């Protein structure tokens, strides 16, 4: 027969066991930090923040000036999520740096454009023209594939998404590739004949992709931008709330009205 002390101990043990059996993701967050790059990603996230607040999720937005730090900060636990990169870039970072971070949702598509202060049409590029391209492997390869689709160069078979200038097998105009950090490319326009600039950095520099570019990547491409979290957080309820907020009709309408086709919803 149990005495009161035995019953109390048994009850306490059951309570502790029940608490330990609750999945970690049930202890959800009500406030998160999200890393973005300045420009469209930051502007869109401000709208996501408003929608998320209605769903009980507070968002603190942290802006970065390059493509490297947001993933490092996420992997280190300084952020809960980031929203600035496409899938090929994430895959390359995970492979090269061993980050335990993962895609959870598609966001928007930024067709990359070629801009110039010296020419009005792409076929006006002179022999030996200096062409600025991003120096990270995925965006640099992306630009080379764009140049190939425009008939300016040919790449060796199998070069794929990570093509580099070393993979160029035909270059009739003898283009000279100037590899720079993606964020610096808008500033290069005074020093080169043309530059391929990611749309988020183009818009931040006051360029209109629809009217200022002399060539533009097709919207049908593998470079859709994504939301990324740590692998351990993928099943947490706050991630679902974040995705719902981003994929809301309010955010889609903002993207359509604010960017007028230069940034495309991918949801």
Identical fold for domains 31-110+223-265 and 113-216, yes or no, is yes
Per-residue pLDDT tens over the stretch 99-111: 999 999 999 998 8
Among 124-128, 216-220, 227-231, the least confident range: 216-220
Residue 250: count of CB within 10 angstroms of its CB: 12
Level-2 CATH architecture, domain 113-216: 3-Layer(aba) Sandwich (3.40)
Residue 121: count of CB within 10 angstroms of its CB: 9
State the Cα–Cα distance between residues 134 and 163, nearest whole angstrom: 12
Tokens representing residue 198 in the block: 């990611």
Domain ranges of the chain: 31-110+223-265, 113-216
Tell which phi-psi region holds residue 154, choosing left (phi > 0), alpha (psi between -120 and 50) or beta.
beta
Class of domain 31-110+223-265: alpha beta
Per-residue pLDDT tens over the stretch 124-163: 999 999 999 999 988 999 999 999 999 999 999 999 888 9
């Amino acid at each position: 027969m149990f005495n009161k002390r035995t019953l109390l101990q048994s009850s306490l043990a059951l309570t502790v066991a029940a608490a330990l059996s609750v999945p970690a993701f049930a202890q959800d967050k009500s406030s998160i930090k999200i890393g973005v790059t300045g420009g469209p990603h930051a502007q869109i996230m401000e709208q996501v923040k408003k929608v998320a607040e209605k769903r009980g999720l507070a968002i603190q937005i942290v802006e970065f000036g390059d493509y490297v730090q947001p993933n490092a900060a996420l992997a280190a636990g300084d952020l809960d999520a980031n929203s600035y990169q496409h899938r090929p870039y994430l895959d390359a970072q995970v492979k090269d740096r061993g980050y335990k971070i993962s895609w959870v949702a598609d966001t928007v598509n930024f067709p990359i454009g070629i801009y110039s202060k010296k020419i009005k049409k792409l076929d006006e590029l002179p022999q030996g023209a200096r062409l600025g391209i991003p120096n990270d492997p995925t965006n640099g390869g992306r630009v080379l594939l764009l140049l190939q689709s425009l008939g300016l160069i040919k790449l060796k078979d199998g070069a794929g998404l990570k093509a580099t200038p070393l993979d160029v097998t035909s270059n009739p105009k003898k283009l000279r590739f100037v590899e720079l950090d993606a964020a610096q490319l808008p500033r290069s326009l005074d020093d080169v004949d043309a530059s391929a600039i990611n749309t988020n950095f183009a818009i931040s520099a006051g360029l209109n992709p629809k009217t200022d570019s002399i060539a533009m990547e097709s919207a049908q491409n593998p470079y859709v931008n994504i939301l990324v979290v740590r692998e351990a957080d993928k099943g947490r309820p706050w991630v679902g709330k974040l995705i719902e907020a981003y994929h809301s009709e309010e955010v889609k309408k903002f993207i359509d009205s604010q960017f007028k086709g230069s940034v495309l919803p991918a949801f």
